Amino acid sequence: MIQITLKDGKVVEHPEGVTPLEIARGIGSRLVKEALAAKVNGRLYDLHRPLTGDAQVEFVTFDDEEGQLVYRHSSSHVMAQAVKKLFPECKLAIGPAIKDGFYYDFDVLQSFTPEDLEKIEKEMQAIIEADLPFERFELSREDAIALARAAGEDYKVELIEDLPEDAVISFYRQGDFTDLCAGPHVPSTGRIRSFKLLSLAGAYWRGDERNRMLQRIYGTSYPKQSMLKEYLFRLEEAKKRDHRRLGVELDLYSVHDEGPGFPFFHPKGMVLRNELERFWREEHVKQGYQEIRSPIILRQELWERSGHWEHYKENMYFTRIDEENYAIKPMNCPGGIILYQSRLHSYRELPIRLGELGLVHRHELSGVLHGLMRVRCFTQDDAHLFCRPEQVEDEIVGIIEMVEYFYRNIFGFDYHIELSTRPEKAMGSDALWETATNALRGALEKKGLPYKVNEGDGAFYGPKIDFKLQDCLGRTWQCGTIQCDFQMPEKFDLTYVGEDGLKHRPVMLHRVVFGSLERFIAILTEHFAGAFPLWLAPVQARVIPITDRHAEYARQVTDRLLEAGIRAEFDGRNEKVGYKIREAQVQKVPYMLIAGDKEVESGTVAVRERSEGDLGAQPLEAVIADLKGRIETRYLRRES
């Protein structure tokens, strides 16, 4: 008999060889129905996999992130089986689960079509209805290669050959389909309830543009049809909010073939960008930051010294000046370090908070470029804080409070926090890493904030806190980060003169709030569907005369708004007033001020608000005072 410790601490005895599914039957029928896999001593197992010793067992359902990954990875195998049935000549590459879905890459002679997706879905449904069990078996490396070669699966052979010589390699079989896979999977294909194939794309094998282009099919799956319908609705809503489309429609920004990955900001986009930068500067001055600017190009030797050369050179651009090698900066931190080094510092000066809206360049593959979300040049709202060890935790708390003010108070985002620890490839001693990690953890606990730990996901020079904000569609975006760095001060021999007159080593904090300014603008565009809060709107009010005889008064209204610092436009086109109002609505203009006979006579304007509609005639000066108040307080109206 073996002892099984359940999640609630209860210990039950079972014969050796018992499966997690059999254990679940002893707990209840509902768990049998909902369990997708099991965590056995912290590792995911198939429900049919026998247990050979004492173990801690926890069941995974679709409510768990790991359960969703198992469910969708199983769905990708069902899709691959359907594709092989319909296109026997195709070769299989990889098919992982991803957030909200899955994909599989195939090497096929001809590109898939939307009509092919319909056929594949039909075949998938037949496989699901057949309720084929997912059967795991293991082979030696030699036998695994022989099996893959016999099946003509060249990509699988390459994957197996990359595994260690002594690796035991697992496969999964469902019906007549077999695939190389670490697993686990749901018990059978019949557990997949509702699914949808979403799109087609090209993808280079292993993400390398020197390799063959494969055909990728994206899909998603859910245990309930209602959940799938809700997700598909969110997808359609996301398409309407796509910042690439809205960027063109609202004349904000664009990307062109002459500079892929290098965005152009139009005049209206620059208004939006400048307002964000102005807000950033105001808040940083209040918090004791000093703004700096470091060069875009610096000697290669600097990047070698900082460690970026070893850890990041594949993502950097290079040039030669006066027969010397230079690099275009992918990050701002070495520039901040050089500035700190430019003179001697006393302990009385610390903490020193240096902020920089710094333009950086990173080499991204063309296949991953995406509007403003993934670009090759962007502005980071970096700050580098140099402080004494005893100041570190309070400085981190201050940064957290600034992030909270930006995200929640100003933009209305919810967010969650993740703490990432030392990665496999990292600089420095374990002791310094532990001290840095404890400083971040201590600040989070001092604030009483919940957080998730991501083991091994820190930067190469220090652990970090990541802030992942959530938009109105429930999507999460990585934006703010705080990194606690003991390594760069060591590498660059940074010092300050302590109270004892001796030199001491400062601690360096790296942080961003917006993250990438370009990416944050894209997120805002999609979150607000282009209907930006009044203070950010490129055009805050449009003045519309009803007929030509009202045009002179409407121009006077426009001039008065401009004098008051309100971004206003006069629409004097020879069009009907209803058409002008509809167009202003499409352009997401917050306020339309309409002038007719009554308004001219009384010195008022008829006010129409973007969401609330007609607000009636109001004195012009009262309207100006109201708009200025909303602009100055950065009033956030949550629109539906």
If asked whether residues 518 and 607 sit together in one domain, one would say no
* Contact of 341 with 373, CB cutoff 8 Å: no
What end-to-end distance do the CA atoms of the chain give, in Å?
Answer: 59
pLDDT, residue 7, reads 86
Tell me the Cα Rg of the chain.
29
If asked whether residues 407 and 487 sit together in one domain, one would say yes
If asked whether residues 75 and 36 sit together in one domain, one would say no
Closest by alpha carbon to 361, among 338, 337, 378?
378
* Contact of 124 with 233, CB cutoff 8 Å: no
- Reduce the DSSP state of residue 291 to 3 states and report it: strand
Residue with tokens 């005639």: 617
Closest by alpha carbon to 624, among 572, 550, 567, 585?
567
Q: Is 527 part of the annotated catalytic residue set?
A: no
Q: Is 362 part of the annotated catalytic residue set?
A: yes
Asked if residue 151 belongs to a domain, the reply is yes
141-150 vs 154-161: helix crossing angle, rounded to 10: 170
Burial code (b: 16+ CB inside 10 Å, e: under 16) for 430-465 equals eebbebbbebbbebbeeeeeebeeeeeebbbbbbbb
Measure the CA–CA gap between 601 and 595, rounded to whole angstroms.
Answer: 10
Of the candidates 105, 382, 466, 471, the residue annotated as catalytic is 382
If asked whether residues 491 and 603 sit together in one domain, one would say no
Work out whether strand 377-387 and strand 253-254 pair parallel, antiparallel, or are unpaired: unpaired
- Token pair for 359: 């333009």
Determine if the peptide bond prior to 489 is cis (ω within 30°): no
If asked whether residues 288 and 437 sit together in one domain, one would say yes
Q: Is 571 part of the annotated catalytic residue set?
A: no
| CATH number of domain containing 624 | 3.40.50.800
Of the candidates 73, 191, 216, 362, the residue annotated as catalytic is 362
If asked whether residues 323 and 410 sit together in one domain, one would say yes
Asked if residue 187 belongs to a domain, the reply is yes
Of the candidates 380, 391, 483, 587, the residue annotated as catalytic is 380
Residue ranges of alpha helices (H) inside 152-299 are 154-161, 225-240, 243-249, 267-286
* Contact of 441 with 419, CB cutoff 8 Å: yes
* Tally of CB atoms within 10 A around 574: 6
Asked if residue 259 belongs to a domain, the reply is no
If asked whether residues 560 and 469 sit together in one domain, one would say no
Question: ∠ CA 520-311-367 to the nearest 5 degrees?
Answer: 50
Asked if residue 488 belongs to a domain, the reply is yes
Q: Choose one of 527, 552, 582: the last residue of a domain.
A: 527
Q: Choose one of 13, 44, 61: the last residue of a domain.
A: 61
| CATH number of domain containing 365 | 3.30.930.10
Q: Is 361 part of the annotated catalytic residue set?
A: no
Asked if residue 463 belongs to a domain, the reply is yes
If asked whether residues 6 and 78 sit together in one domain, one would say no
Asked if residue 536 belongs to a domain, the reply is no
3-state helix, strand, coil in the chain (%, to 5): 40, 30, 35
Q: For 474-521, how does the pLDDT look when each residue is reduced to its tens digit (9 = 90+)?
A: 888 889 999 999 988 998 999 999 999 999 999 999 999 999 999 999
Work out whether strand 213-222 and strand 194-204 pair parallel, antiparallel, or are unpaired: antiparallel
If asked whether residues 323 and 453 sit together in one domain, one would say yes
Q: Is 384 part of the annotated catalytic residue set?
A: yes
- Surface-to-core class of residue 542, CB atoms within 10 Å of its CB (0-12 exposed, 13-18 middle, 19+ buried): buried
- Does the pTM surpass 0.85? The reply is no
List, for the chain, all residue ranges whose pLDDT scores fall below the cut of 50. Answer: 640
Residue with tokens 């002791």: 431
* Contact of 37 with 44, CB cutoff 8 Å: yes
Asked if residue 535 belongs to a domain, the reply is no
Measure the CA–CA gap between 33 and 63, rounded to whole angstroms.
Answer: 13
- Token pair for 425: 């490839």
Of the candidates 464, 519, 527, 588, the residue annotated as catalytic is 464
Question: ∠ CA 243-245-251 to the nearest 5 degrees?
Answer: 90
Q: Is 333 part of the annotated catalytic residue set?
A: yes
pLDDT, residue 278, reads 96
Q: Which amino acid is residue 208, in one-letter code?
A: D
Asked if residue 249 belongs to a domain, the reply is no
Q: Choose one of 495, 527, 559: the last residue of a domain.
A: 527
Of the candidates 384, 422, 580, 630, the residue annotated as catalytic is 384
Domain of 287 in residue numbering reads as: 268-527
- Surface-to-core class of residue 179, CB atoms within 10 Å of its CB (0-12 exposed, 13-18 middle, 19+ buried): buried
- Token pair for 595: 């002038």
- Token pair for 598: 């009554």
| CATH number of domain containing 193 | 3.30.980.10
* DSSP letter for each residue of 346-390: BTTTPSEEEEEEEEEE----GGG-BTTTB-SEEEEEEEEEEE-GG
If asked whether residues 405 and 511 sit together in one domain, one would say yes
Q: Which amino acid is residue 70, in one-letter code?
A: V
- The side-by-side arrangement of strands in the sheet containing 324-328 is 297-299, 324-328, 317-321
Q: Name the E strands within 498-638.
A: 503-504, 507-516, 541-545, 568-570, 591-595, 604-609, 613-619
If asked whether residues 352 and 437 sit together in one domain, one would say yes
Of the candidates 181, 333, 472, 484, the residue annotated as catalytic is 333
Closest by alpha carbon to 480, among 527, 512, 524, 520?
512
Determine if the peptide bond prior to 351 is cis (ω within 30°): yes
Q: Per the structure, how many domains does the chain have?
A: 4
* φ/ψ (deg, to 5) at 386: -110, 120
Q: Is 266 part of the annotated catalytic residue set?
A: no
Of the candidates 376, 510, 527, 550, the residue annotated as catalytic is 510
If asked whether residues 53 and 88 sit together in one domain, one would say no
Question: ∠ CA 93-207-142 to the nearest 5 degrees?
Answer: 40
pLDDT, residue 365, reads 82
